[in-house]
Chain A
Amino acid sequence: MIPAAFTYKRAWSVDEALDLAAQGGEDAKFLAGGHSLLPLMKLRLAVPETLVDIGRLAELSSVRDEGSYIAVGALTTHHDLATSGLLGQELPLLAHAAGEVGDPQVRHRGTIGGSLVHADPAADLPAVILALDATLVARGPGGSREIAAADFFHGLFETALAPGELLTEIRIPKPAQAGWAFQKFTKRAIDWAIVGVAVQGDAVALVNMGQTPVRAAAVEQALASGAAPDTAAAHAADGTSAPEDINADRGYREHLARVLVGRALAESRSRS
């Protein structure tokens, strides 16, 4: 299967990318690694008229230590995240989770920015940056703005980005609590998570338990009020609206969330 016809434009700078996107209007899309967008286009579930290839914007592909936070360029591939020494040291949760995305080929091409902007609640990294309280930097025709991860995911495949706005960087504060864990429950290694859990300290985020990645607020509250991890984990499904599909009904997903949060908290504490 092949995508419907479109016009391909290659950008050599962020400014040029924004210009090209503006010219393309509503039917323009940015193309990074293409591992969220191209599969949809091949199934003709997405039919953009213009693709603005931002893949050459080397300025967006870096992992930097900025003192209090780590700056991750939006074009950094999953593979580069997973093998980054700096991330391994400072943000092992992100490095580890990036190594669990898709398969090696996908990780060679797919980018963190692409994954976040695609906003699939079954994806791994959206929940991870939620647990890490990251800040997302977007640039549009009117300049840059910062968006808290908690405000970024608006719905199924929907984000806070305006049309023509480009995610350029993810700023992740160095965690105050060292313990972390990432639990991804799948039928097969290559599958999307049926349920996933990202834990950093006492922050807990869930994969595929709603229309967006969500923080397990009830778990975090229980922990904050001194509950033991096991007790807190029992609240993992509180307030969620898990989807139903061929892999799991809601009840099973909720059960998995409780089990996996329990395991993730135990694992996290063993690392702290």
Chain B
Amino acid sequence: MKVSMTVNGSAVTAEVADRTLLVHFLRDVAGLTATNIGCDTTSCGACTVLLDGQSVKSCTVLAAQAEGREVTTLEGLAAAGGEMHPVQQAFHAEHGLQCGFCTPGMVMAAVSLLAENPHPTEEQVRTGLEGNLCRCTGYHNIVRAVLAASGQAEGQDSQ
């Protein structure tokens, strides 16, 4: 079937199998490989992208379901000039990533979280990221990064 959508501001149209998952459409058709697959059960959140501005797990959305919609992936987050999005900047400044595999999904989940709740508490950040697993950071610096990106002083000093 033919599927068309806007990905990071550009129209993408392709003939794909009906069962094509959005994550594979993004990786294999649109060539955007930042979005990773970390599980089979909608558990880990590594594949999180924005669909019409809201975080979704792209392993559990058919490409066909995104027909005509707007998708934003990690690659589409920075400003046109290349300046990183405040969430990306905060992950860098707070050491919110290690191996980087969960990072694209984690960052997109955080962007969506802050869009819905611009000034979350630490607890709200933690519950807001319940759908994203990270195996490296223990979440400590991810939480600090999200709080920092929200313009709030970091959660607590680690020293």
Contacts and interface: CB of A to CB of B under 8 A. Distances in A.
Interface stretch (B59-67, B79-87, B92-100): B59-67
B132 to A, nearest CB: 8
Interface in A27-84: 31, 34-35, 38-39, 42-43, 51, 53, 55, 79
Interface string B50-62: 0100111101111
Contacts of B130: 103-104, 188-190
Interface string B1-30: 100000000000000011101001000000
A1 B127 CA distance: 27
B40 interface: yes
Main secondary structure of the interface of B (DSSP, over half): mixed
B134 interface: no
Nearest to B39: A1
Contact of B56 (A5, A8, A42, A105): A105
B56 A108 contact: yes
A43 B1 CA distance: 23
A75 to B, nearest CB: 12
Contacts of A210: none
A131 to B, nearest CB: 24
B147 interface: no
Most buried by B among A105, A188, A189: A105
A253 B41 CA distance: 25
B18 A105 contact: no
Contact of B45 (A34, A105, A109, A189): A105
Interface residues of A, number: 30
Given A42-B40, A106-B57, A6 B18 contact: yes
Contacts of B112: 104-105, 108
A188 B43 CA distance: 12
Contacts of B65: 31, 34, 53, 55
Interface string A174-205: 00000000000000111000000000000000
Contact of A10 (B17, B45, B48, B67): B67
B109 interface: yes
A8 B64 contact: yes
B33 interface: no
Nearest to A42: B40
Nearest to B52: A108
A109 B41 contact: no
Nearest to A5: B19
Contacts of B131: 102-106, 190
A7 interface: yes
Nearest to B18: A8
A79 B113 CA distance: 12
A108 B40 contact: no
A173 interface: no
16 contacts: A2-B21, A3-B19, A6-B19, A7-B18, A8-B1, A34-B60, A35-B42, A38-B61, A39-B60, A53-B65, A103-B45, A103-B131, A104-B55, A104-B109, A104-B112, A104-B113
Closest 7 CB pairs of A and B: A103-B131, A8-B18, A1-B40, A189-B130, A108-B54, A105-B57, A103-B130
Interface of A: 1-8, 10, 31, 34-35, 38-39, 42-43, 51, 53, 55, 79, 102-106, 108-109, 188-190
Given A5-B17, A43-B40, 16 more contacts: A2-B21, A8-B1, A8-B19, A8-B62, A8-B64, A31-B65, A35-B42, A38-B61, A42-B60, A79-B54, A103-B130, A104-B131, A105-B57, A105-B109, A106-B57, A190-B43
Interface of B: 1, 17-19, 21, 24, 40-43, 45, 48, 51, 54-57, 59-62, 64-65, 67, 109, 112-113, 116, 127-128, 130-132
